[in-house]
């Protein structure tokens, strides 16, 4: 037997679930991020506005604390191969659900674009980057310097390697340089060091 649900009820349910009818209390930031399955963070300002719309009394500094001090939130490449903010507690679940399709699409693009000849071609670079990040987060610029690489091609390759490693769950965004509303350059961290042991 089919149950008919009025469109207005479906709309209200969706808006409520996304915390767009009534804002959540400030202490429920992680719950809100989980309820909306993460926040697209390609543009920092858009992600912050999206969360401000949903959480009462939220400040940029609180979001920064949750990302970079308490680390209850994580910023990394995830859904649709774009940067998202998700909760650390559900990151393993989200990564596990999306890993196969993300890597399939990434490798198809990288090989079609001629960036690499086979799927595992950058594995030796993964090890080198992980070693560089043993002592803490670094920016792509800092890693280039430590690797002794230069030029546009070196930066392009390392940026792609960092992205691939993030998709695989090895790295995440760490501290950003610049004001909260316009990050000039991010540092990246080993996710195992940044978040510690998460299941």
Digitized pLDDT (tens) for each residue of the chain, 199 residues in all: 888 888 998 888 888 888 888 999 989 999 999 999 999 998 888 899 999 999 999 998 899 999 999 999 999 999 888 999 999 999 999 999 999 999 999 999 999 999 999 999 999 999 999 999 999 999 999 999 999 998 999 999 999 999 999 999 999 999 888 777 777 789 999 999 999 855 4
Edge to edge, what strands does the sheet with 185-190 contain? 138-139, 185-190, 171-177
Q: In what order do the strands lie in the sheet with 39-40?
A: 39-40, 83-87, 73-77
3-state SS class at 73: strand
Looking at residue 197, its pLDDT comes to 56
Q: What is the pLDDT of residue 148?
A: 93
Give the per-residue pLDDT at 198.
Answer: 54
Give the largest Cα separation in the chain, rounded.
67
Instruction: Give the chain's end-to-end CA distance (angstroms, integer).
Output: 40
Give the angle 124-126-129 at the CA atoms, nearest 5°: 115
Distance CA(130)–CA(123), nearest Å, equals 11
The two three-digit tokens of residue 135, written as one number = 């002592």
């Amino acid at each position: 037997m089919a149950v008919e649900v009025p469109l207005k009820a479906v709309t209200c349910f969706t808006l409520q679930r996304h915390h767009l009818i009534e804002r959540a209390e400030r202490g429920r930031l992680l719950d809100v991020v989980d309820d909306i399955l993460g926040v697209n963070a390609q543009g920092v300002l858009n992600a912050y506005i999206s969360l401000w719309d949903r959480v009462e009394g939220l400040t940029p500094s609180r979001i920064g604390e949750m990302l970079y001090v308490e680390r209850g939130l994580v910023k990394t490449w995830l859904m649709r191969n774009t940067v998202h903010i998700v909760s650390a507690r559900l990151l393993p679940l989200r990564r596990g659900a999306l890993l196969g399709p993300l890597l399939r699409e990434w490798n198809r693009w990288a090989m079609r674009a001629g960036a690499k000849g086979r799927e595992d071609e950058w594995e030796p670079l993964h090890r080198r980057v992980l070693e560089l990040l043993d002592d803490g987060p670094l920016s792509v610029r800092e890693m280039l310097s430590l690797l002794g690489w230069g030029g546009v091609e070196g930066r392009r390759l390392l940026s792609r390697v960092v992205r691939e490693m993030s998709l695989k769950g090895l790295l995440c965004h760490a501290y950003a340089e610049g004001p909260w509303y316009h990050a000039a350059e991010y540092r990246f961290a080993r996710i195992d060091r940044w978040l510690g042991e998460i299941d």
